[in-house]
Amino acid sequence: MQPSTEPANATLLFVDDESNVLSSLKRLFRPCGYRIFTAEGGAQGLEILQRENIDLVISDMRMPEMNGAQFLEQVNKRWPETIRILLTGYAEIEATIDAINKGHIYRYISKPWEDNDIVLSIQHALRQKQLEQANQGLEELTRKQNEELKDLNANLEQKVKARTEELRQTMGFLEVAHEKLKKGFITSIRVFSNLIEMREGIMAGHSHRVAELSRAIAQLMGMKEAEVQDVFLAALLHDVGKIGLPDYLLEKPFTSLTGEERSEVIKHPVKGQTALMALEQLQGAAKLIRSHHEHFDGLGYPDKLHGLEIPLGARIIALANEYDAVQLGTVLNKRLKQSDAVLYIQEGRGKRYDPAVVDAFMKVMGASGAAQAVQEMAVRMDQAKPGMVLSRDLMSSHGELLLSKDYMLDKALIDQIRGFEHLGSNLTIYVYVRK
């Protein structure tokens, strides 16, 4: 059965063995205008899916006979276009990982949930599904039109060329975005690195930028290929231990945290290591995640390691993480410009950061031109011009990377981005203004 495509008329299925949970979900979503079905177990849920067009299913993790991971795995195999969301607790991290790997869930939501958070998550998931289905429809339309073009009279050659070019420009940016979306979910590693960033906000793209900078520094310092790989993976996943933290703590500056809040936040390196230790291929990265908040002067956490006691990969990630974080405003009570962030790193030389790592960082910055006096400005797409260079990653409203920092715009790409905005995503780009 094919799910429906209109979010306003979407059909939802809630699966939980607790009737009070099902009642709460029905009360919460009934005003949204959705068709709603409920099931008290996985078997009953599968029966409903066989006879109804279900757009999105929300399943609890802990259920008798068939748990949420097993149920969503069956849904993925039989109805892959149905969006799958898991309700779980932090203590069920291994089961959650199993659901991610086997059920290919869109996301998970911690219990107890925030009403506004779960409603927005469902709305975003249904909108994304509608865009993907629209993209598929446009691809099919393009295929049919191209077949028709082959049969046109030779006298219509110029008209054919003009129409094909119009279709190419319309499809170009959608194809790029679609390809990046597929690559973003190739492995569970990429899924893990996006778990926090899916929750919208200023952290979008943070792990990606930290990973790229960490890899560049590690390569410059002559680390072996396998060690560089561990650094890159650890940097991608360095915030996985924050999965269970409430939203307001994710963007609150560390210096503004209360004592109780700080005690909770500083647990995340150890939680991150624990979450990954069961995966043999990630054990090296897990050790680096544990130590990525240690300071060279011994005043970091969680183990108060000092100097060269800290693994080199962790020393690199510590610098790259804070370089990006001070620009986001999650370390200090203000955001720093890129040039000021470089100075902040230099001031921490021998204190927070390994002097050798700082020296390598400055070489990387010098090679990329980032350490030069650089300003940036926000530009609307109707103001964009060919030759402008992105000073920040361009992210979609769902936190997906569309274009990387330092990408030079041309006329075709600007037209593609404007076409993407017609789908309802207004984008602002940031470009360099060099002195």
Is pLDDT of 155 > 60?
no
Q: Which pLDDT score is estimated for 191?
A: 54
Mean pLDDT of 20-48: 93
Q: Which pLDDT score is estimated for 433?
A: 78
Mean pLDDT of 225-231: 91
User: How many C-beta atoms surround the C-beta of residue 344 within 10 A?
Assistant: 17
Give yes or no for a contact between 16 and 61, defined as CB atoms under 8 angstroms apart: no
User: How many C-beta atoms surround the C-beta of residue 395 within 10 A?
Assistant: 17
Mean pLDDT of 233-253: 81
* Structure-token match 């703590």, residue found: 249
The mean of the pLDDT values for the chain is: 81
Residue predicted with more confidence, 46 or 180: 46
Torsion sign across C-alpha atoms 169, 170, 173, 177: negative
User: How many C-beta atoms surround the C-beta of residue 199 within 10 A?
Assistant: 20
Rounded-to-5 percentages of helix, strand, coil across the chain: 60, 10, 30
Tokens read off for 264 = 């909770």
Classify domain 375-434 by CATH number. 3.90.105.10
Q: Dump pLDDT digits (tens) for 256-310.
A: 788 888 888 888 899 988 888 887 788 899 999 999 999 999 999 999 999 999 9
Q: What percent of the chain has pLDDT over 70?
A: 76
Give yes or no for a contact between 323 and 346, defined as CB atoms under 8 angstroms apart: no
The 3-state DSSP class for residue 299 equals coil
Tokens read off for 386 = 């060919």
Q: What percent of the chain has pLDDT over 90?
A: 34
Tokens read off for 223 = 């680390």
Give yes or no for a contact between 377 and 356, defined as CB atoms under 8 angstroms apart: no
Q: Which pLDDT score is estimated for 205?
A: 75
Q: Which pLDDT score is estimated for 51?
A: 93
Give yes or no for a contact between 74 and 88, defined as CB atoms under 8 angstroms apart: no
Domain extents in the chain: 7-123, 131-188, 198-372, 375-434
Q: Which pLDDT score is estimated for 370?
A: 47
DSSP 106-153: SEEEESSPPHHHHHHHHHHHHHHHHHHHHHHHHHHHHHHHHHHHHTS-
Q: Kindly report which listed range (153-157, 369-373, 402-406) carries the lowest average pLDDT score.
A: 369-373
User: How many C-beta atoms surround the C-beta of residue 222 within 10 A?
Assistant: 9
Give yes or no for a contact between 36 and 58, defined as CB atoms under 8 angstroms apart: no
Q: Dump pLDDT digits (tens) for 326-348.
A: 998 888 888 899 999 999 999 99
Q: Which pLDDT score is estimated for 91?
A: 56
Q: Dump pLDDT digits (tens) for 89-141.
A: 765 666 667 667 666 788 888 888 899 988 998 899 889 888 888 888 788 88
Q: Which pLDDT score is estimated for 424?
A: 61
Mean pLDDT of 356-365: 94
Q: Which pLDDT score is estimated for 257?
A: 82
User: Does domain 7-123 sit in CATH 3.40.50.2300?
Assistant: yes
What is 198-372's CATH superfamily?
Answer: Hypothetical protein af1432 (1.10.3210.10)
